[in-house]
Structure 1
């Protein structure tokens, strides 16, 4: 049992909360299809809770987490000084010499004390760094070693695209993923992978309530409705868990909120920290999870929230796949990796009607794979059909010859949007035609996002 306010080290046999990429069981596409492009959306790695909860006895979940030693030392590029001017000041100098400054980051507590290796609230931990690095290694094992889809060495920036939200835990997670996929020894001289970040108003890897007031209003409304509908359902848990939250009832809008309790429990379990036995009971944690999932994501069952929350992201995805389909090898992009949050992962799944109603695990990942029908795939067709194909007005590289497969946590997903005959590869419903996919995305993409986001 951990005393309140004390530090703790992760136990060696911590409970793993992320799902590694399963390379050996990866389902290779039918032989008539060839992989052309991959888009990955991955939640950041294991982190500390975003708030201090249940630190007092009898829960005694630590307030301070000593699990951030790996990244405490780093080097920063700074403008250096040169001789030739008094004091080394570059008056009017537009190109100062760069130097590297070695820095050690340490968290200071409110009483002025500090301990090296302590994590900030919501910070990626050493466990999270390892799991995201392993995720990148899994990508390399799959797309470089097994499928020979990606180059062994990154020679230019055109083949890859890396983007993160502007949060330290997602940016650092993506750094680890990229390093696992292409370690320094696999980067050509002079090539350093670029990680892109957008300004807040342009961010679309999550439902952007910061820049979209209408979305914020809608999601607040759904959260309030969830509290009205689910709080009564949570009442039977009070006798089991209230003693761990200061005697308060557990409610979606309680103190602490049910979502905060779930956050603390899941973070602790991911790091091998003991939680009260009641939170390990399937009936308890599943009921809390169902209520919280409804609070956060029920809105994505509606068309307006889907458009405002995930429409722009899906629009970006669709445009890149269409560009590849039209331009083929003239478009060098092969893999795009996006580092996002649980809300982005769940929002995407719910928008496409394939959400499993479970809170996304750390490093949970969605993959969209674009396939092209091979040009020799007409073998076995009748001569008449072959002639028709040859004289078709549709380019052999356009959406009529391309398919999209969505995968989540090593599972193929059958998208309801392409369930009709003609909207997927015959006999393989998980391969949605690019035409059907882009048509549905077109319906979800706002024509004027800012106008639709205006408060009403």
Structure 2
């Protein structure tokens, strides 16, 4: 099988939905009038995205997958340009700039030149990729995401200025593909910056302090994840076992199941999808049996293996992504307080570059219903370049809901007493200060002191309707249940956001409760 096939071009914004590629909405006049009426202004935007298309994580399924993926022609030139800008030596032949483990932990960007070996690198060829490397298709899709953000927030709404200095907060995980994805997103958002005239700081945390995706080094979380994952597979046994049986019947997968699969432990669907999905999206030929229907079932099977546990148990979702959600809430609170005080927020837009293991748990936080803790119909693996956008909106003109949600007047939650309230009874996260519910001018407390502010969450090309925001009085009276009142948004995520002490305690104990 040839490994030199050219990448397929990205679909247009009007292309049909794909289970492998994230789609973005078309910014028509009708779209803007519907979602951004004149009386509603954008106050803050938080963007969390998965990295772009990449090669598989390793050379798995050798009977199907090529040994060499020569789909990274832009990588070498961009790495060389980066090395020159950073004052690093040019990469000699058969060397590459990578993330050594010790530099990952220090939050380094590119480490020293490291010799390639046949064991860890593909055969050298024009445009060859390493395993797990962002490809040219991935670079293009991330640039496309950035261009969409520019078309919406700079050109159409005028929310972001032409000179972004001091207005953006950029953060990435320590993985090269995530850092490069953020760089290309930024390139699409601000494509005409003069070299040397404008610089952007990308923040990278050491692994010991990372919250942007679950820490696989947390033994308690890993153990719980495995236990709950096995339960999820049993609960979905008929569908999942049927998929497993069909995969075992595929001749090209015979060696994989014989040599690499541990029954009940190996996440079969996501490992097969990692190879097959990457091949399809890059225009490489796959066995005919992997048609659209089977690929879609693989994305659902992967979700059952990896994402369903987060939906099934809020305590596990807290351990996986709760500290990161807490940081997102801090941004919303600062933006509201700053806007009410008439001063600029610390961050006008934040962009976080993460992984499928970032998007998946976040979807659990945003979609779990307290009455039915199960994965929703149609749940599938987050596509490459998937993004969640948290928009904080302000509307002082539209009538505020006159109905009061049943939970609005529940027990007031003060920072020093919040931990005494069970997670499922909390009205808002512990890091939302009580001062947010005081009128700015006279300091009087009122549960509706934040009534001008709303939150809308986009997942790729659609608005997510959060369960609590469907409640009467918890959403915008004109724009509907997709635009939450600030308190409706807080209520949805409150039980998923532990305090720092609670996060440390749950991680140590590994105790999963019904909350």
Report the Cα offset of residue 166 of structure 1.
0.8
More displaced stretch, 341-350 vs 250-259: 250-259
Confirm or deny: 8 A CA contact 2:398 2:477 kept in the other structure.
no
**Is residue 276 from structure 1 mapped to residue 287 from structure 2 by the alignment?**
yes
- Which residue of the other structure, out of 257, 264, 268, is the alignment partner of 1:248? 257
Match of 2:366 among 348, 352, 365: 352
Q: Confirm or deny: 8 A CA contact 1:14 1:269 kept in the other structure.
A: no
Aligned partner of 1:443 among 468, 471, 495:
495
Which residue of 1 is the match for residue 66 of structure 2? 62
Give distance in 1, aligned partners of 2:495 and 2:267: 39
Alignment correspondent of 1:399: 450
* 1:48-87 → structure 2 map (5 Å cutoff): 48-56=55-63, 59=64, 61-73=65-77, 74-75=80-81
Q: Which residue of 2 aligns with 1:385?
A: none
Give the direction of change, closer, same or farther, for the CA distance of 1:63–1:21 in structure 2 (3 Å limit).
farther
Return the match for 2:355 from 338, 341, 355: 341
Secondary structure at the counterpart of residue 125 of structure 2: coil
Offset at residue 415 of structure 1 (A): 0.7
Q: Residues 79-110 of structure 1, C-alpha deviation per residue, up to 9 Å, x if partnerless?
A: 9xxxxxxxxxxxxxxxxxx9453336555524
Deviation at 1:177, TM superposition (A): 0.4
Provide the secondary structure at the position in 2 that maps to 1:35. Answer: strand
- Give the match for residue 9 of structure 1: 5
8 Å contact 1:215–1:309 — kept in the other structure? yes
TM-score, scaled to structure 2: 0.73
Structure 1 equivalent of residue 189 of structure 2: 181
In structure 2, what is the equivalent of residue 44 of structure 1? Answer: 51
Distance 1:349 1:365 in 2: 11
- 1:173-322 to 2 correspondences below 5 Å: 173-185=181-193, 190-210=197-217, 212-228=218-234, 230=237, 232-238=241-247, 240-246=249-255, 248=257, 253=264, 257-282=268-293, 284-301=294-311, 302-322=313-333
Q: Which structure 2 residues correspond to residues 350-389 of structure 1 after superposition, within 5 A?
A: 350-353=364-367, 356-374=378-396
Q: How far does residue 186 in structure 1 lie from its aligned partner after superposition?
A: 6.8
Task: Name the SS for the 2:222 alignment partner.
Answer: helix
Q: Is the 8 A contact 2:7 2:71 kept in 1?
A: no
Task: Confirm whether residue 431 of structure 1 aligns to residue 438 of structure 2.
Answer: no
Aligned to 1:93: none
Match of 2:140 among 130, 133, 139: 130
Which runs of 5 or more residues in structure 2 are unaligned?
12-19, 97-115, 369-375, 403-438, 511-515
Q: 1:246 Cα deviation (Å)?
A: 2.2
Which is further off, 17-26 or 359-368?
Answer: 17-26
**TM-score, length of structure 1 as denominator length:** 0.82
Whole-Å separation in 1 of the counterparts to 2:482 and 2:42: 14
Aligned residues: 418
Taking a change above 3 Å as real, the CA distance of residues 247 and 337 of structure 1, as seen in their structure-2 partners, is closer
Cα RMSD after superposing both structures = 3.3
Give the number of the structure whose alpha-carbon radius of gyration is greater.
1
Structure 1 gaps, min length 5: 80-97, 382-387
Distance 1:234 1:117, change over 3 A: same
Match of 2:149 in 1: 139
> Which piece of structure 1 moves more, 395-404 or 257-266?
395-404
Q: CA deviation at 1:194?
A: 1.0
CA distance in 1, matches of 2:383, 2:120: 34
Q: Which residue of the partner structure matches residue 84 of structure 1? A: none
Secondary structure of 1:123 counterpart: coil
Q: Secondary structure at the match of 1:72?
A: helix
Change in CA separation of 1:412 and 1:192 when aligned onto 2, cut-off 3 Å: same
* 8 Å contact kept, 1:315–1:442: no
How far 1:349 moved relative to its partner?
Answer: 1.0
Q: Is the 8 A contact 2:248 2:257 kept in 1?
A: no
Question: How far apart are residue 291 of structure 1 and its match?
Answer: 2.4
Say whether 1:454 aligns with 2:461.
no
